[in-house]
């Protein structure tokens, strides 16, 4: 454990929680965000601190304090929380306590009181929640990164989950990203700087898309279609009570991963849900050419009857036709170990003219990462996801690539990489062992 | 005598209505008292019997809207709100009622509700301020804070409130959502300051 991690840990452990619950929700929220911000700046720092140590250190401090400031603004911390969630998916890098804290970000109710909810409702739907619904719980039951979720009942008796967005969040994300871009300017001496800008812009477009609940709703409907006749349940949408900032959907009862695991479920049960989670991931990958950039435990509800609730369709990235073809060809090349085709794939991914321009150090690392990713597919029969070495290897590779700081790469890769790590980490936590290869290849055959 | 009084009231009302429409249509700055008197068919001099200036006229409209915002607040209030929520509800309801005046409330308040002196030159503005602060006093009392009208706490509140109004009048975000966030922060700041973090209000959102 390095000193930064240690100091954060000690801060977390010694931090007194104020007794007033009002103050508590308020400060807890921001301290979480601060820690997330710290980690974020840490990751970025690692990306850039190499040659010009002094300069870098200066920008690091600047960056860190700026991010901390962003984190203090109560519920306007959406963008930072996203980063925290990303980090939470890497159990080998983060000490266990911190993962728990990050995870609680998804469950902790943020400070949006009912008067504020009412105003958002008046602006969005023209009426108070209590006029629209037969009943509406004033206290949120779950926090979302950009809002909070309330339970309610429709007049026809149906139970719904109503996601309400914080006011002004889109503007805040835009402003955050602007600040970030300005701060990154201090690192412009770094080679391939222009590609970094592309990554930031790309992240911005994905996050801003997430701000529009209508687009999330549309995508949720699409997913509902592709998962009919499966054990995966996507909530039904209630469009009459849905706007850009309010999303009303069927409530799915069940447990999240953490509480499921707390019941000490047997291997068969863990495998069952691991397969369903994998299916949701792989099936949408192939049938919708989509990657969920935000694959974390909060997005799955493990239901008593054995079905898997799949929620949250805000944060995704869809391949266009051309990029998808490259992706599929690349995957085939990997599985068939076709060196020439692989070279072509890497060249395109790194936005180079010819494979001779590729950075050999990067190619070496990338190939090792690829091998790590496809290991469960290449293994015929059950793959043991519970092996610590496997996850650790993935995390080490990630750290290595962070250290290498290679940014000249198609931004799409960020999302698929993030999703893959998210998936593997979920599998690891479920300590599952099943035939992932058949699942993957069957889907691949069917859709390509 | 009674009839004259009634007629007077009627004229006053029609001036206010005409002014509201014209302000909304052509803007506060561009609207002249001549336009207003012409629009309701009275002599310009007559208008001045009712309202000293265009600013007073606008301030009267604003004060009326604030009054209806207060009523809206009373209606919507459940009595279960914690301090921050109740303050928030009051200001948000008032702004809702003031919506049509948003773009020109700045100059109106600057002249009608003098910001720099405690006593306003415009009686309508002074009354609007008093009424607003009276409600604030009541809300504070509901939560156990008995506070004098002239106390520094009220001055603190008033500065935050003016800041909110100023921001709101220039808020370019859709549905002025930034102002909603600002009201919330401001009222949290205010409640935190006056309670010095010592009171333990009931949790408004708590997962346990
Ligand atoms: N339909 C639903 N049924 C049951 N619980 C739900 C439902 N929708 C949301 N939730 C709860 O609310 C939490 C947050 O919702 P959601 O994941 O949609 O929000 P989000 O804004 O996308 O946040 P995040 O980025 O953290 O995933 C979920 O983890 C879950 O606990």
The complex scores an ipTM of 0.81
8 Å CB contact of B84 and A18: no
Chain A / chain B CB contacts < 8 angstroms: 89
Cβ of residue A251 lying under 6 Å from some atom of ligand 1: yes
| Nearest residue, CB atoms, B197 vs list A18, A73, A139 | A18
* Residues in chain A, total: 448
DSSP H or E segment with residue A358: none
Round to whole Å and give the CA distance between B176 and A216. Answer: 23
Q: How far is CA B81 from CA A21, A130, B62, B95, B206, in A?
A: 15, 15, 27, 19, 15
CB A293 within 8 A of CB A415: yes
pLDDT at A3: 40
Any B CB within 8 A of A122 CB: yes
Q: Is the pLDDT of residue B152 over 50?
A: yes
Q: Taking CB atoms and an 8 Å cutoff, what residues of chain A touch B88?
A: 113, 115-116, 119
* Ligand 1 center from residue A295 Cα (angstroms): 12
pLDDT at A187: 56
Residues A368-400: tens digit of each pLDDT: 999 999 999 999 999 999 998 888 788 778 767
Any B CB within 8 A of A202 CB: no
Round to whole Å and give the CA distance between B159 and B115. Answer: 9
Cβ of residue A112 lying under 6 Å from some atom of ligand 1: no
Q: Look at B181 and A217; give whichever has higher pLDDT.
A: A217
pLDDT at A434: 97
8 Å CB contact of A115 and B175: no
Nearest CA to ligand 1 atom 18: A312
Q: Taking CB atoms and an 8 Å cutoff, what residues of chain B touch A73?
A: 185
Which tokens belong to A318? 């869809």
8 Å CB contact of B92 and A123: no
> Buried b / exposed e across A156-174, counting CB within 10 Å, b at 16+?
eeeebbbbbbbbbbbbbbe
Which tokens belong to A223? 């997913």
pLDDT at A377: 96
Q: How far is CA A355 from CA A166, A263, A360, in A?
A: 47, 52, 10
CB A245 within 8 A of CB B175: no
Q: Which of A22, A117, A211, A258 should one mutate to test binding to chain B, selecting the residue with the greatest count of B CBs within 10 A?
A: A22
Question: Candidates A211, A246, A292, A299: which one to mutate for ligand 1, based on the most atoms within 8 Å of Cβ?
Answer: A299
- State the sign of the Cα–Cα–Cα–Cα dihedral A268, A269, A274, A280: positive
CA A217, chain centre distance (Å): 18
pLDDT at B165: 92
Round to whole Å and give the CA distance between A429 and A261. Answer: 9
Q: How far is B69 from chain A (nearest CA, A)?
A: 14
Query: What percentage of chain B reaches a pLDDT higher than 90?
Result: 45
Question: Candidates A311, A314, A315, A419: which one to mutate for ligand 1, based on the most atoms within 8 Å of Cβ?
Answer: A311
CB atoms under 10 Å from CB of A221, counted, come to: 14
DSSP H or E segment with residue A152: strand A147-153
Please give the angle made by the CA atoms of A24, A27 and A29, to the nearest 5 degrees.
100
> Buried b / exposed e across B82-118, counting CB within 10 Å, b at 16+?
bbbbbbbbbbbbbbbbbeebbebbbebbebbbbeeee
Round to whole Å and give the CA distance between A42 and B137. Answer: 48
Q: Taking CB atoms and an 8 Å cutoff, what residues of chain A touch B73?
A: none
pLDDT at A252: 97
Any B CB within 8 A of A141 CB: yes
Residues B5-29: tens digit of each pLDDT: 888 899 999 999 999 999 988 888 8
| Nearest residue, CB atoms, B85 vs list A109, A115, A167 | A115
Q: How far is CA A401 from CA A85, A212, A366, A413, B196, in A?
A: 19, 33, 8, 13, 48
Residues B71-127: tens digit of each pLDDT: 999 999 999 999 999 999 999 999 999 999 998 888 888 777 765 555 556 888 888
pLDDT at A35: 43
Q: Taking CB atoms and an 8 Å cutoff, what residues of chain B touch A111?
A: 188, 204-205
Q: Domain B1-51: which CATH class? A: mainly alpha
Cβ of residue A149 lying under 6 Å from some atom of ligand 1: yes
Residues 6+ apart with CB under 8 A from A179: A66, A70
Q: What pLDDT tens digit does each residue of chain A (448 aa) get?
A: 344 334 333 333 333 322 222 222 333 334 344 444 444 444 444 444 444 444 444 444 544 444 444 444 444 445 455 544 444 443 333 334 444 444 444 333 346 899 999 999 999 999 999 999 999 999 989 878 778 899 999 999 999 999 999 887 777 667 666 665 665 565 566 667 777 677 777 777 777 788 899 999 999 999 999 999 999 999 999 999 999 999 999 999 999 998 999 999 999 999 999 999 999 999 999 999 998 876 778 899 999 999 999 998 988 888 888 989 998 999 999 999 898 999 999 999 888 999 899 989 989 998 999 999 999 999 999 999 999 888 878 877 876 776 666 777 887 877 787 788 889 889 998 999 999 999 999 999 998 7
8 Å CB contact of B81 and A23: no
CB A312 within 8 A of CB A298: yes
Please tell me the pTM assigned to this model: 0.79
Q: What are B's interface residues with A at a Cβ cutoff of 8 A?
A: 76, 81-82, 84-86, 88-89, 92, 96, 173, 175, 177-178, 180-181, 184-185, 188, 192, 197-207
Please give the angle made by the CA atoms of A109, A111 and A114, to the nearest 5 degrees.
100
DSSP H or E segment with residue A312: none
Round to whole Å and give the CA distance between B180 and A49. Answer: 40
DSSP H or E segment with residue A317: strand A316-318
Q: Where are the beta strands (DSSP E) in A203-285?
A: 232-233, 246-250
For B51-56, what is the mean pLDDT?
88
Cβ of residue A106 lying under 6 Å from some atom of ligand 1: yes
């Amino acid at each position: 454990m390095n000193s930064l991690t240690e100091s954060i840990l000690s801060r977390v452990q010694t931090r007194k929680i104020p007794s007033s619950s009002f103050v508590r929700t308020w400060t807890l929220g921001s301290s979480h965000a601060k820690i997330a911000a710290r980690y974020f700046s840490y990751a970025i720092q690692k990306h850039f601190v190499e040659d010009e140590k002094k300069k870098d250190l200066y920008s690091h401090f600047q960056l860190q304090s700026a991010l901390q400031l962003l984190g203090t603004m109560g519920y306007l911390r959406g963008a930072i929380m996203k980063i925290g969630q990303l980090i939470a998916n890497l159990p080998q890098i983060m000490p266990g306590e911190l993962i728990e804290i990050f995870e609680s970000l998804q469950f902790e109710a943020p400070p949006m009181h009912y008067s504020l909810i009412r105003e958002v409702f008046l602006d969005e739907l023209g009426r108070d929640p209590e006029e629209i619904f037969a009943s509406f719980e004033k206290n949120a039951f779950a926090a979302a990164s950009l809002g909070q979720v309330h339970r309610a009942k429709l007049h026809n008796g149906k139970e719904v989950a109503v996601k309400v967005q914080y006011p002004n969040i889109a503007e805040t994300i835009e402003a955050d990203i602007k600040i970030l871009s300005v701060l990154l300017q201090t690192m412009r001496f770094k080679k391939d700087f222009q590609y970094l800008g592309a990554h930031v812009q790309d992240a911005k477009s994905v996050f801003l898309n997430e701000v529009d609940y209508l687009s999330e709703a549309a995508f949720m409907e699409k997913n509902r279609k592709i998962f009919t006749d499966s054990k995966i349940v996507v909530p039904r949408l209630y469009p009459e009570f849905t706007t850009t900032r309010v999303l009303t959907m069927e409530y799915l009862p069940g447990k999240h991963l953490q509480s499921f695991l707390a019941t000490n479920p047997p291997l068969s049960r863990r495998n069952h849900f691991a397969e369903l989670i994998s299916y949701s991931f792989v099936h949408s990958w192939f049938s919708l050419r989509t990657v969920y950039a935000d694959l974390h435990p909060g997005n799955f509800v493990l239901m008593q009857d054995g079905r898997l609730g799949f929620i949250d369709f805000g944060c995704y990235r869809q391949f266009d036709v051309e990029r998808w073809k490259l992706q599929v060809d690349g995957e085939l090349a990997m599985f068939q170990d076709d060196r020439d085709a692989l070279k072509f794939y890497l060249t395109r991914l790194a936005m180079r003219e010819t494979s001779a321009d590729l950075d050999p150090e990067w190619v070496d690392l990338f190939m090792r990462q690829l091998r790590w990713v496809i290991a469960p597919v290449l293994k015929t029969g059950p793959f043991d996801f519970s092996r610590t070495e496997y996850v650790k290897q993935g995390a080490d590779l990630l750290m290595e690539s962070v250290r290498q700081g290679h940014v000249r790469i198609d931004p799409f890769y960020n999302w698929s990489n993030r999703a893959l790590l998210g998936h593997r980490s979920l599998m690891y936590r479920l300590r599952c062992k099943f035939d992932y290869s058949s699942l993957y290849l069957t889907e691949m055959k069917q859709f390509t | 005598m009674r009839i004259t009084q009634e007629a007077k009231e009627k004229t006053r009302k029609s001036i206010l209505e005409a002014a509201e429409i014209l302000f909304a249509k052509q803007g506060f700055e561009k609207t002249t008292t001549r336009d207003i008197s012409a629009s309701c068919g009275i002599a310009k001099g007559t208008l001045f019997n009712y309202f000293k200036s265009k600013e007073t006229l606008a301030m009267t409209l604003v004060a009326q809207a604030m009054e209806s915002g207060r009523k809206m607040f009373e209606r919507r209030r459940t009595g279960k709100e914690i301090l921050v929520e109740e303050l928030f509800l009051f200001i948000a309801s008032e702004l809702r009622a003031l919506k049509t005046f948003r773009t020109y409330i700045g100059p109106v308040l600057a002249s009608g509700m003098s910001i720099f002196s405690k006593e306003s030159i415009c009686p309508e503005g002074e009354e609007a301020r008093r009424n607003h602060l009276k409600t604030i006093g009541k809300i504070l009392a509901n939560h156990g804070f008995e506070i004098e009208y002239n106390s520094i706490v009220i001055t603190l509140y008033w500065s935050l409130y003016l800041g909110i109004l100023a921001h709101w009048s220039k808020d370019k975000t859709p549905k002025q959502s930034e102002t909603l966030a600002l009201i919330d922060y401001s009222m949290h700041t205010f409640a935190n300051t006056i309670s010095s973090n010592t009171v333990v209000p009931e949790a408004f959102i708590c997962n346990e």
